Amino acid sequence: MKYCKDFIVVENQTITSNLFILKLQYPETLPEIKAGQFVEILVEGNKDVFLRRPISIHDVDYKKNQISLLVQIVGKGTDKLSNIKEGDSLNLIFPLGNGFTIIGKKVLLVGGGCGAAPLLYLTRVLKEKNIKSDILVGCRDINHLFSKKEYESLSNLHIATEDGSCGIKGLVTTHKILEEEFDAIYCCGPTPMMKAISKIAKDKNIPCYVSLEHTMACGFGVCLCCVVETNKGNERTCTTGPIFLSSDLKDF
């Protein structure tokens, strides 16, 4: 079921000049939210912004009825959101899309940049289900690394930075953790990275689930802006996805 409700901003945490985390308070009891789902945020106060902005759900706290959203400033809409203050109200349609399929006893999570946003909540779900997980996060430098303490409390964290300021120097695709055996891989981030990881998974004959980032103007399948080509025909990312088995995608 989808809801259209107002949330209250509890915190706006700056990560970098163009990256921030919004912690939002729900006035009621949160409904079930699956790891990998997203929200559509109404951006008010800017006449040039007409459409809601799709944002992945970074984390969920059912005890406090709060959700967290990792947001990157890429245009006027997200720039407006970056100036949101504690106590402000945001209207969200949620939860949208499908979630990750949870399988296996030992899994690997791979995230690149801000695209890694859905993985924190996924690690929380995996721990609750007593599934062992390793998470490999890649970013430009240590300043772009977010939610490090949270990841470390939930999973075995591995880090790769382009400049070597934290973890190994290089891309996630070169990390030795990929040589280990896992029952499944969950991947979020830039498309070239996800394609490379899905190829590694294919060579190991294990399933790889990827989170696609397409333009999703409506979020519930009406506008057809987010159509993706699959082996079963064209599908809408916002409804059939955003989580797909990589072997079902034609371009992967």
Q: Strand 53-61 relative to strand 243-245: parallel, antiparallel, unpaired?
A: unpaired
Residue 6 CB neighbour total at 10 angstroms: 13
> Whole-angstrom Cα distance, residue 20 to residue 78?
10
- Which pair of structure tokens corresponds to residue 52? 């809601």
Encode burial over 213-244: b for 16+ CB neighbours within 10 A, e otherwise.
beebbbbebeeeebbbebeeeebbbbbbbbbb
Q: Are 163 and 140 in contact (CB under 8 A)?
A: yes
Digit-by-digit pLDDT tens for the chain (252 residues) are 899 999 999 999 999 999 999 999 999 999 999 999 999 999 987 777 888 989 999 999 999 999 999 999 998 889 999 999 999 999 999 999 999 999 999 999 999 988 899 999 999 999 999 999 999 999 999 999 999 999 999 999 999 999 999 999 999 999 999 999 999 999 999 999 999 999 999 999 999 999 998 777 787 778 878 899 999 899 888 899 999 999 999 988
The full set of domains in the chain, from first to last, is 3-96 (2.40.30.10), 106-211 (3.40.50.80)
